[in-house]
Structure 1
Amino acid sequence: MIIIILSLGLIGFIVGYLAFKQGWKRHLIGDLGLILLVSAAVLMIGNDTKHWGMRQTTTSQTTTLKSTVANPYVKLLLFEPVKKSDTEKVYVYRTTTNHQRQHTAVSLKTVNRVKTAHIKTARLTTKTTRWTYKNNFWRWLYAGTGSHKTLVKRQNTFTLPKTWATLSVSQAKWLDNQAKSESTKANATIKATVTAKVQAARIADPSLSTKQVAALTKNIEQAASAQAKQQEPVLIAKLIKQAQARSIH
């Protein structure tokens, strides 16, 4: 509507002072057109620079998250440094309803926070503040001049369970490689332990049958695997600390 008022003011101003050389019609139409023209221009400038007729409105949305990568050892939230910065980061995440990776915006108006809590499910809470119309009158007045939903600020808060870890993409790659290496070492250790114990048992009792040896081997493997499984959380925690101590780049 403000565009129409601006156009009517311009037309009235031009017609009033050009079509009529003198008399009350010239001043009535020309002055009224000038008033409309200036008023509309001031309103548009005020709306554009001072957000006249608008207010800040904040909306909040919470989504549940799953590990950014399918890591069998630990659930991760990843981030990527922005232009080799040590403080500016883009967080990479996945929601439980979307398998595709998503990331936070690279913007001075976006703030990201990560915190841990005694919860079972990770979640992301996004609070978005925008300029919106105060009421229908202002919406009607500025109709046709744009959406006027300018972003003021956005805050992303990642709330993670204590069992999660936050790593850069580079750190996560290192962790994955180290975990696989440690797993290979653990399997080799289990195999060597089983072989040594079975050989010792056969030396101690040469009369063991094939079935008895097979049963003994199975029991030793299960015991060795269970022991390795118990030590796994401590090892993973150690590797995570080592990964977090590395450069994020």
Structure 2
Amino acid sequence: MILIILIIGLLGFIVGFLALNHPVRQVLIGGGGLLVLTIAAIMMIGNDNWHWGMHTTTATTTTTLSSAVKNNYVSLLLYEPIKKSNTEKVYVYRTPSSTKQQHTAVSLTTTNHIATTTGTTAQLVTTTKRWTYNNNVWRELYRWTGTHQTLISHHNTFKVPSTWATLSVSQAKWLASQAKTIDAQAKTQVTAAVQAQVKQAVAAQPNMTKAQIAALTKTVTQKATAQAEQQAPAMITKLVKQAQARSIH
């Protein structure tokens, strides 16, 4: 609508001052057209620069998160440095209903924050602020002049439990490699410990039957595995700290 008013004012200005010879008509039509043209232009500038006829609206959404990388040792929230920067980051996350990773937007209007919570569920709380027209009158007035909902800011708050770890993609790859190596070493140690205990038991009781040896092996294996699993959390915590101390690139 404002564009139509602008065109009418422009036509009135042109016709009044260029096409008419009567001084009074020139002033009335040309001057009126100039006034309309000026008012329409000011209103367009006011809407574009100061958002006349608009107000701020805020929308908040909450999304449950799963570990960005599937593993059996620690849940992860990842980030990727932007252009080798140490401060600007794109966060990588995943939702329970999707197997694909998602990431935050790279934009001057987007900010990210991480908050550690005492809960057990990780969440992404997104707060979006936009300029929206006050009513349909203003919306119709500025029809065809651009977007009707201008983004002001997009703020992401990642609420993660204390049991989660936040790592760069590079750090997470190192952690996965180290965890795999340690897991293999632990399995080797469990196997060796079981064999040694069974061998010692058989040496002490040479008359043990195959069934007794099998039962003993099972029992010893269960105990050794349980012991290794008890030690695993402390080992993973140590590895996570080592990963966080590494370069994020």
For normalisation by structure 1, the TM-score amounts to: 0.96
Q: Hey, what does 1:97 align to over in structure 2?
A: 97
Distance 1:244 1:155 in 2: 25
Contact in 1 for aligned 2:64/2:121 (Cα 8 Å): yes
Q: Hey, what does 2:196 align to over in structure 1?
A: 196
Distance 1:112 1:128 in 2: 12
Structure 1 residue 102 displacement after superposition: 1.1
Distance 2:162 2:101 in 1: 22
Tell me, what secondary structure is at the counterpart of 2:206? coil
Q: Hey, what does 1:170 align to over in structure 2?
A: 170
Q: Hey, what does 2:71 align to over in structure 1?
A: 71
Distance 2:86 2:10 in 1: 54
Residue 122 (structure 2) pairs with residue 146 (structure 1): no
Distance 1:12 1:109 in 2: 42
Structure 1 residue 149 displacement after superposition: 2.1
Structure 1 residue 28 displacement after superposition: 1.9
Query: For structure 1, which runs of at least 5 residues remain unmatched after alignment?
Result: none
Structure 1 residue 150 displacement after superposition: 2.1
**What letter matches 2:187 in structure 1?**
N
Q: Hey, what does 1:56 align to over in structure 2?
A: 56
**In the TM superposition, what whole-angstrom CA distance separates every residue of 1:118-147 from its partner, at most 9, and x where no partner exists?**
112110001111111122221121011111
Distance 1:214 1:163 in 2: 38
Tell me, what secondary structure is at the counterpart of 2:119? coil
Structure 1 residue 108 displacement after superposition: 2.3
Contact in 1 for aligned 2:139/2:148 (Cα 8 Å): no
Structure 1 residue 7 displacement after superposition: 0.7
Query: For structure 2, which runs of at least 5 residues remain unmatched after alignment?
Result: none
Distance 1:98 1:8 in 2: 54
Q: Hey, what does 2:248 align to over in structure 1?
A: 248
Distance 1:12 1:122 in 2: 62
Distance 1:96 1:33 in 2: 61
**What letter matches 1:108 in structure 2?**
L
**What letter matches 2:239 in structure 1?**
L
**What letter matches 1:140 in structure 2?**
E
Tell me, what secondary structure is at the counterpart of 2:208? coil
Q: Hey, what does 1:6 align to over in structure 2?
A: 6
Distance 1:99 1:191 in 2: 35
Distance 1:96 1:12 in 2: 62
Q: Where do residues 1-249 of structure 1 align in structure 2 (5 Å cutoff)? A: 1-249=1-249
For normalisation by structure 2, the TM-score amounts to: 0.96
Could you list the structure 1 runs, at least 4 aligned residues long, displaced by more than 6 angstroms after superposition. none
Deviates most, 189-198 or 12-21: 12-21
**In the TM superposition, what whole-angstrom CA distance separates every residue of 1:197-227 from its partner, at most 9, and x where no partner exists?**
1111111111011111111111111110011
Structure 1 residue 96 displacement after superposition: 2.3
**What letter matches 1:88 in structure 2?**
E
Tell me, what secondary structure is at the counterpart of 2:99? strand
